Amino acid sequence: MFKFLKNTVKTQSQILSIKAILSMIHAVERVVNKDALNLTGMTPHTVIYEDDLLSVLHYHPLEEDEIKIGEEYFPVSRQLHKTPLVYIPPLLAPGFAFDLFPERSLARYFLAKGFDVYLVDFGTPTKSHAHLSFEDYILNWMPASMEAIRSESGAKKLSLYGYCMGGLFCLLYTAIFQDSDIRNMVTVASPIDTHQMGVAGKALSLVAVPAHKLARRINFSLRDIKPEHLHVPGLLGTIGFHVINPLGVLKSYWDLLLNLWDRDYVTAHESLGHWINNLLDYPGATVQEIVIQMALANKLARKGEMTIGGRRAKLKGINCSLLSFAGEKDEIVQFESARKIMDVVSSQDKSFQVVPGGHVGLIIGEKAPQNLWKSSADWLARRSG
């Protein structure tokens, strides 16, 4: 609308007046019809499998000849890679993190690059799901999802693409089931050495041994705590992201104020805000395993393995091609924590890259398409047949 109006007026004052009117319209819309500005999860798809909270999505091929991502246009390839691509989101973030809005959609980007794209969506847990553990996610839902995708696609070989905890799920699933048909794996900001996660990691490394000795002396175990008492509401995650980067939050609202006249900017802001402000609950039983095996014992870094449901996940058993990323400004999963993956897998074809952005920005920020998206797409294209 603004481009049309701009072409019909001549003076700077008229342009400023039009911007003021559009700003008021969008400000009112943010109050009375905010959902209309949220464009998350818009890419057409079919749900091919469901089980309780779990759903597996298959994204439809794009009908356009080209798509716009950020300020760039990309031709849509009609030549399909043989190896399907499977997104695995972190538990804290809704699945639409991979499909934030049309011009910042990882799903649309990879569809345009000729990939057959799937998403494993772990749903929206509530406190009634506090019992969900690594056993449910890794031993039950991950293999069920892989089976559904292989059945739908007709392909045995798959590429996994996991963000944060989703990357760990890729590693743990592949290690436990020794799935030799996982051809490629991309992990993004996935913590391996939890004692290298900034100040909190250093603190954990200092208290881990004394805490273990104290627990043995008083005959106490974290496993004695009921999962519902460890359940973490998603609101705490949202607050955590805001606390980590308060200046960034203030800047985002200042930028919104300056660009309130631009509907595209407003929808982008609202879509990202919908993601950050609707982070998901962390089931208590999963939190329990993270604290015991990762935060305190740091098993993945020290031993290269974890035990899930009585089964050992030995990361040395992973031999697929591996590409791992860390964000240069990530305050949650810092470089040293993510880089440890290079030491604990047996893959011969493996590489590690640091890209611009923090924990969120590296995968869905403005610079993500030119950096992480492009690097991972080019890497996968050479290995996907």
| Identity at 56, one-letter amino acid code | V
Which pTM value belongs to this model?
A: 0.90
pLDDT at 44: 97
DSSP tag of 110: H
Same domain, 86 and 13: no
- Three-class SS string for 160-187? EEEECHHHHHHHHHHHHHCCCCEEEEEE
Same domain, 26 and 52: no
Same domain, 18 and 64: no
CA 302 to chain centre: 25
Alpha-carbon distance of 292 to 306, in angstroms, equals 10
> Which residue, chain included where needed, has tokens 């779990």?
54
Domain that holds residue 15: 2-32
Tokens of 161: 């693409």
pLDDT at 173: 98
Helix (H) or strand (E) holding 26: helix 12-32
- In sequence order, the β-bridge partners of residue 69 are 72
The CATH number given to whatever domain includes residue 258 is 3.40.50.1820
CA 209 to chain centre: 32
Contact 364, 371 (CB under 8 A): no
DSSP tag of 191: -
pLDDT at 308: 96
pLDDT at 272: 83
Same domain, 113 and 18: no
Alpha-carbon distance of 106 to 98, in angstroms, equals 5
Tokens of 276: 């950050």
CA 355 to chain centre: 15
Same domain, 13 and 45: no
Q: How far apart are the first and last CA of the chain?
A: 44
Q: At what angle do helices 246-258 and 234-244 cross, to 10 degrees?
A: 90
Contact 366, 70 (CB under 8 A): yes
Q: What is the CA radius of gyration of the chain?
A: 22
Same domain, 19 and 116: no
Alpha-carbon distance of 93 to 163, in angstroms, equals 10
List the chain residues with pLDDT less than 50. Answer: 2
- Integer CA distances (angstroms), 217 to 145, 146, 175, 209, 289, in order: 43, 44, 34, 12, 21
Q: How many domains does the chain have?
A: 2
Same domain, 19 and 80: no
Same domain, 62 and 126: yes
pLDDT at 1: 53
Contact 205, 298 (CB under 8 A): yes
φ/ψ (deg, to 5) at 352? -130, 135
Alpha-carbon distance of 77 to 80, in angstroms, equals 7
> Could you tell me which of 188, 129, 173 has the C-alpha nearest to residue 315?
173
pLDDT at 331: 87
Same domain, 352 and 305: yes
Same domain, 197 and 155: yes
Alpha-carbon distance of 267 to 277, in angstroms, equals 15
Same domain, 44 and 28: no
Alpha-carbon distance of 114 to 111, in angstroms, equals 5
Same domain, 48 and 23: no
Alpha-carbon distance of 272 to 366, in angstroms, equals 11
Alpha-carbon distance of 42 to 103, in angstroms, equals 11
